[in-house]
Amino acid sequence: MNGKIISSLRGTYKVYVDGVVYTVFPKGNLKFKNKHLVVGDQVILDDENFMIFDVLDRKNELIRPKASNIDQLLIVMSVVEPDLSMELIYKFLTYANMNEIPSMVALTKMDKVKNLQEVHSLRQNLEKLGIKVFYISKDENSELKDLKDNLKDKTTVIMGQTGVGKSSLINSIDESFARAIGEYSTALGRGKHQTKEVILLPYLNGFIGDTPGFSSLELNIYKEDLATYFPGYTDYYLECYFSNCLHQNEKECKVKEKIEEGILAK
């Protein structure tokens, strides 16, 4: 029978099959086939011994967080504690584009924001690119319903810094998840880790992936990759006069043209 790996710990795996979760081990032949297992894998279980004896081909795989077969990413960023980082948001979105995974953005702690204009401007710029943005607040949850609707029938993996409220958001989506919530340290300027590994939580005929937070994201890419995958560039870079255009000093650059027209944010 077929199932999806929803968590792993020290060589054991929890596999979700038609609403039932089995704790199983992989058969030794997988190592000889050089097939490593990650959360999100669709696997085939031995009906007699309930062991994983094969893994199906992946449609995608992320290195960080380590997960596969992802339908969409939900990038969670706080507006304060830690402070809103536009650079990090665009890094996340570039990372998603590199892996051809659609993405959305949730901005948390909106009840604490002081510079609303900055946040609204960011939202407008992202929505111009077709990226859905949701405001999340303790005081107002009207946009939480819209977010829930976008999670139906899909495997959504959440990404974000430690302390931005990923686990709190997951608990707001469904209280039964009861994810442990970390605290934000003002002295350290960052959150404290609570989620230690990737775990998929069944939700509305899909899954929500809770992942460990991190303080930075380094993209191992070339400048030519950035000119291709930076949010907004993907739609226009092929229309540039030069095939290797970096959208800086080159003439007849379609990206710079769209910036001047206000289609892309400067």
pLDDT value of residue 30: 75
Q: Answer yes or no: do 147 and 22 share one domain.
A: no
Decide if 265 is inside a domain.
no
CB atoms within 10 A of CB 96: 23
In a domain, 111, yes or no: yes
pLDDT reported for residue 254? 97
96 and 168 co-located in one domain: yes
- pLDDT tens readout for residues 122-143: 999 999 999 999 999 887 778 9
Domain residues for the domain of 175 are: 62-210
DSSP-derived 3-state class of residue 39: coil
pLDDT score of 3? 95
Percent of the chain with pLDDT over 90: 68
Does the pLDDT value for residue 199 go beyond 70?
Answer: yes
Tell me what pLDDT residue 188 has. 36
**Phi, psi for residue 75 in degrees, rounded to 5:** -90, 120
Asked if the model's pLDDT at residue 186 lies above 90, the reply is no
Choice between 23 and 47, residue whose per-residue pLDDT is larger = 23
Coil, helix or strand at residue 65: coil
Q: What pLDDT is recorded for position 14?
A: 95
Q: Which helix (H) or strand (E) holds 117?
A: helix 116-128
* Residue 139 belongs to a domain: yes
For the segment 63-76, the average pLDDT, to the nearest whole number, is 95
The pLDDT tens digits for 213-256 are 776 678 888 999 999 999 999 999 999 999 999 999 999 999 99
Q: What is the pLDDT of residue 190?
A: 44
Any idea what the CATH number is for the domain that residue 135 is in? Answer: 3.40.50.300
Residue 189 has pLDDT above 60, yes or no: no
Q: Is 170 part of a structural domain of the chain?
A: yes
* 196 pLDDT tier (thresholds 50, 70, 90): low
Whether 52 is covered by a domain: the verdict is yes
Mean of pLDDT over the chain:
89
Query: Do 74 and 197 sit in the same domain of this protein?
Result: yes
Q: Are residues 21 and 104 in the same domain?
A: no
Q: Are residues 28 and 131 in the same domain?
A: no
Number of domains in the chain: 3
For the segment 210-215, the average pLDDT, to the nearest whole number, is: 81
pLDDT for 259 = 94
Residue with the bigger pLDDT between 29 and 246: it is 246
What's the rounded Cα separation, in Å, for the pair 129 and 202? 29
Q: Are residues 106 and 16 in the same domain?
A: no
User: At 172, which amino acid appears?
Assistant: S
Buried b (16+ CB within 10 A) or exposed e, 182-219: bebeeeeebbeebbeebbbbebeebbbbbbbbeeeeee
125 and 23 in a single domain? The answer is no
Indicate the pLDDT class of residue 117, thresholds 50, 70 and 90: very high
**Model pTM?**
0.89
- Indicate whether 69 and 158 sit together in one domain: yes
Q: Is residue 266 part of a domain?
A: no
**In this structure, are 229 and 159 located in the same domain?**
no
Question: Is 45 a domain residue?
Answer: yes
Residue range 155-174, pLDDT digits in tens: 999 999 888 989 889 999 99
| Boundary residue ending a domain (36, 57, 78) | 57
In the prediction, which pLDDT does 90 show?
93
79 and 148: one domain? Answer: yes
Does residue 44 sit in the same domain as residue 155?
no
Residue 103 to residue 92: CA distance in whole angstroms: 9
Residue 126, exposed/middle/buried by CB under 10 A (0-12, 13-18, 19+)? buried
- Assign residue 242 the CATH number of its domain: 1.10.40.50
